[in-house]
Amino acid sequence: MLLQLDHIRKGFGNPGDPAYRVVLEDLSLEVEEGERMAILGPSGSGKTTLLNLIGGLDHPDEGSVVFRGEDITRYPVREMDRFRNGQIGFVFQFHHLLPQCTLLENVLIPTLVRDRSDRDQALGRAEMLLRRVGIWDHRDKLPGKLSGGECQRAAVVRAMINAPSLLLADEPTGALDRENVEKMAGLLLELNREDGLTLLVVTHSAGLAEKMGRTLELRNGKLVRPK
Ligand SMILES: Nc1ncnc2c1ncn2[C@@H]1O[C@H](COP(=O)(O)OP(=O)(O)O)[C@@H](O)[C@H]1O
Ligand SMILES: [Mg+2]
């Protein structure tokens, strides 16, 4: 078992306040190593909140997030940073590459906290991944000179640079045209099949969702089978 969420509750604001809102309520989920999972759900249903809890960017009010047997909600801040940097890759709807840095510099950013010998290794891995997604020739270009699809593939490389176990993708194809949706779906599938990467993908794309092994929908704070 890679991940186990147990009776998660998460609200925003102060309980008792009229603006208080419970977003996730008694939510449980188990994800096996190497699984591919799509999460559907309307805007505002709590999909991003859920990914943030799993990736250690936010804390649940109740319940546990257990990653390979360890409850990450109990980690102190530094331990949490180490967990996130080493185990989790994030891809968002917009690539969030730094516009003043080249593609290669951008994908190496998550490796800057490491020591020297690790960084040399990271350069080799960056080359391997950039070649694999077909943008190695663009490595010295700024993101502004590249297409949205190319930038999004660079964002996947950046997410993969520290060899995470789990990729959390939040509407990763939301800003792409059809051809690039296909390419992104193919790339994610390949990383799952060949590298054993576990995928948790929030998406509105039926094409992307159907390539995942399992699809759940977030409704009324819980994950349920889609209708
Ligand atoms: N930091 C926050 N503070 C207050 N409310 C938030 C915060 N983050 C999310 N919410 C609220 O939680 C609900 C779920 O948001 P979100 O997880 O972003 O939904 P989704 O990703 O499914 O669109 C929304 O009503 C949103 O306004
Ligand atoms: Mg969202």
pLDDT at 113: 81
| DSSP β-bridge partners for residue 216 | 39
Q: What is the pLDDT of residues 75-84, one digit of tens each?
A: 999 999 999 9
Name every residue whose Cβ is closer than 8 Å to that of residue 117 and which is 6 or more positions away in sequence: none
Asked if the model's pLDDT at residue 204 lies above 90, the reply is yes
* Nearest Cα to Cα of residue 55 among 29, 86, 76: 86
Angle between helices 116-132 and 148-160 (to 10 degrees): 140
Instruction: Tell which atom from ligand 1 comes closest to the C-alpha of 45.
Output: 22
> pLDDT-based confidence at 117, cuts 50/70/90?
confident
Which domains, ranges and CATH numbers included, belong to the chain?
Answer: 3-224 (3.40.50.300)
User: Sheet harboring 21-31: ordered strands across?
Assistant: 21-31, 3-12, 62-67, 70-71
pLDDT at 166: 98
Give the distance (Å) from ligand 1 centre to CA of residue 215: 21
* Mean pLDDT (whole number) for 45-57: 98
Phi-psi region of 220 (alpha: psi -120 to 50; beta: other; left: phi over 0): left
* Ligand 1 atom 14: residue of nearest CA: 46
- Sign, CA dihedral 182-96-46-78, equals positive
Question: pLDDT exceeding 90 applies to what percent of the chain?
Answer: 93
pLDDT at 227: 83
Give the distance (Å) from ligand 2 centre to CA of residue 46: 7
